Each structure stands twice: as structure tokens, then as C-alpha cells.
Amino acid sequence: MLKLERRPAPSKVMTIASPLIAALAMLLTGIVIFTLLGKDPQQAFYVFFIKPLQTMYGFGELLLKATPLLLCALGLALGFRSNVWNIGAEGQLTIGAITGGGVALWLGDSTTAWGLPLMLAAGALGGMTWAAIPAYLRNRFNTSEILVSLMLVYIAQLLLSYLVHGPWRDPQGYNFPQSKAFGDAFLIPLLMDGTRTNWGFILALILALASWSFSRWTYAGYRMQVAGHAPAAAAYAGYSNKGNVWMALMISGAMAGLAGICEVAGPIGQLQAEISPGYGFAAIIVAWIGRLHPLGIVLGSLLMSLLYLGGESAQMQMALPSAITGLFQGLLLFYLLAADLFIQFRIKSIKPARTPEARSVATEAA
């Protein structure tokens, strides 16, 4: 018989092995699904996971798509570690794109060197403003930041849609719901020729290092972790709970806002109704699969980026529906959560208890 038994201490090995197990299980399930769809699993695997990376351009796309995922996930992970559950990075990303994009549209053809920094700052501020709403409401009325930040995603998306359909629509844009293209001063420079990868990826890597240093070296980072592990201990030590909520949401909002800028000032180059294929949500999975650790999140964002690329590649080459990307994301999270159980628990086979045979009980007891 098998029994689930709590480990005396969480398993370090399983903490690291769990994402790998989840990725492997996702692959195996994917192969089964391809087979059931009548596709050759070997070819499907090749199209999904190998082909997108075979060219320099493809590799650049990998880094490009990893950038917003990495930025969002770094901010979210800091919050998750401090018990603040920002689910609305997608909305903060959208608002960041609006405020940053607004700066670009407002300054138009200006060639100032301050264009891009200004835009990044506006984007970060925009994301922070949007994240301030759940922060304020939680501190003032004890609302759930999970629900508030999630609902604000849809409001942000509708706001963007209103702007590009209405006031910010490009008059010369043949009625497409999109803004004017941003001037050159408002585009992030490319990192490598022949790819679309830009300096945003380097910015994200620097922020990953900054995020690691924040947790490792600063007292503020330590206090956030205490709030995450044991809220009562934080209260006992006199750490402000409200301050923690503000800190977590401001950081994750700013990072999501930057991710929005990296998209609109990067591959898109203008505002349009759809600017993100769910990066803000996928970043939640990235944060968990990266174990809420910056290094893990870098790797997780690359894996998640590959799923996006593979999904696109499978759509084009094998006529699979676009839902395939979401399917793989879902599988990955599903298996990760299942495998994470074994960090705290282990399976033990239990032997039937020894039967009491004729032992001289009375004498022993005496």
C-alpha cells in the first residue's frame, strides 16, 4: 500500500527537479496529443521545439519573447515571495504601454536623446499607477488584490482599445485600430543585426541581477520575505504590512510597465489593440517554474518563450490551432503543481503492522 507522508523538511532536490519533471511530462503528454491528432509525433516535436531555434533570427525571437515574460515574472516573484498576489501584470503591462506610448505620440518626431528614457519612465509609472489601485484597496478596505488586479486587466485592455479606435487612431492608418508609428527616438535599439532582439533583453537581465541582489542583500528585501513566510512574525517584529503590500505591487507594476514598453517600443513600434499574447499571465507560470528565483526565472522565461514560438511554428507548418500554445502552458503549470506536492511530501509504502503472536506479555509488562 502507498501512503503520502509529510517530509521532515522540504526536499531541496525536489524543489529543483520539479520544474524539470513538469517540462518532461509536458513533452510526453504533447507527444500523445500530437499522435491523437494524427500528426507524426517526431515531426511535431521537431517543428515545435527544434525548428524555431535553428536560425539566428529564430534564436533572436526566443530572446525577444522572453523579455516581457522575464520582466513581468521578476516583479511578480518578488510579490509572491512576500504574500502579495498580483495576478494583473497583463493589465499593468497594457497601461505601461499606453503611458509610454503616449509619451512617444506626444513628442512625435522629436529626436531628443531623452525620448527613450522618458518613455521607459512613463511606462514604469503607468504600471505602478495601475498596480496602486489594488494596493490601496487592499490596505484601505482589505480587498483581495488577486481579484482587483485581475479585473483591472480587462479595464486596461478596453482602455487601450478605446484609445486606438478613437482619439489616438492614426488618421493615415486606413481606419485600422492603431496609432501612428513611433519616431526613431522612441524605439529600443536592436541588439543583433538580422534579428528583432533589442536591448530590452539586456535590461531584463540587469533587472534579474538587481532583483537577486535586492533579496540577498537588502533589509527591505528581507522584510518582504519575512512577510511572505510568516505574516505574524512580520507584525511581531514591527514590519509594516501596508508597506509590504505597496512595495510588492509597486515593484511588480513597474516591471510589467517596462515589459509593455519593450513590446510597443520594440517589435510593434506603435500602439495597437492587441499588444501582448498574454505575457502577463504566462509570467505567473514563469515565476513558479523558476522557483521565484531570478536565475530560475531567466530559464523559465526562455522555456515559455519557446512554447510561444513552437506554437506559432506548429500553426504554420502543421495546421494546428492556435490554442496549442495555451495548451502547452496549461500542461506545464498543471504538472508543475502536481510535482511540487513532492517538495513537502513523499510516497511511502506501508507494511502491514506486525500481528501480535503469542508473546509472553504479562511477564514482560511486569
Q: What CA–CA distance (Å, rounded) separates 155 from 162?
A: 10
Whether the CB-CB separation of 90 and 234 falls below 8 Å is answered with no
CB of 256 to another protein, least distance (A): 25
Amino acid present at 98: I
Q: Which of residues 225-264 bind another protein (CB under 8 A)?
A: 225-226, 229-230, 232-233, 235-240
Q: By C-beta, is 7 or 176 nearer to another protein?
A: 7
Among the listed residues 98, 36, 48, the one whose alpha carbon sits nearest the alpha carbon of residue 272: 98
Q: By C-beta, is 186 or 239 nearer to another protein?
A: 239
Q: What CA–CA distance (Å, rounded) separates 160 from 170?
A: 14
Q: Please count the other Cβ atoms lying within 10 Å of the Cβ belonging to residue 52.
A: 23
Longest dimension (CA), the chain: 102
Count residues near another protein (CB under 8 A).
33
> Is residue 7 near another protein by the rule CB under 8 A?
yes
> Is residue 140 near another protein by the rule CB under 8 A?
no
**Please, is 360 exposed, middle or buried when counting C-beta atoms within 10 Å of its C-beta (0-12, 13-18, 19+)?**
exposed
> Is residue 129 near another protein by the rule CB under 8 A?
no
Whether the CB-CB separation of 286 and 102 falls below 8 Å is answered with no
Whether the CB-CB separation of 89 and 256 falls below 8 Å is answered with yes
Q: By C-beta, is 171 or 352 nearer to another protein?
A: 352
Q: Which of residues 302-361 bind another protein (CB under 8 A)?
A: 353-354, 356, 359, 361
Q: Which of residues 190-229 bind another protein (CB under 8 A)?
A: 217-220, 222, 225-226, 229
Please identify which residue in 1, 13, 36, 365 interacts with another protein, judged by CB under 8 A.
365
Please identify which residue in 1, 2, 8, 36 interacts with another protein, judged by CB under 8 A.
8
CB of 143 to another protein, least distance (A): 18
- Give Cβ neighbours of residue 333 (< 8 Å, ≥ 6 apart): 285, 288, 289
Binding site for another protein (CB under 8 A): 5-10, 217-220, 222, 225-226, 229-230, 232-233, 235-240, 353-354, 356, 359, 361-366
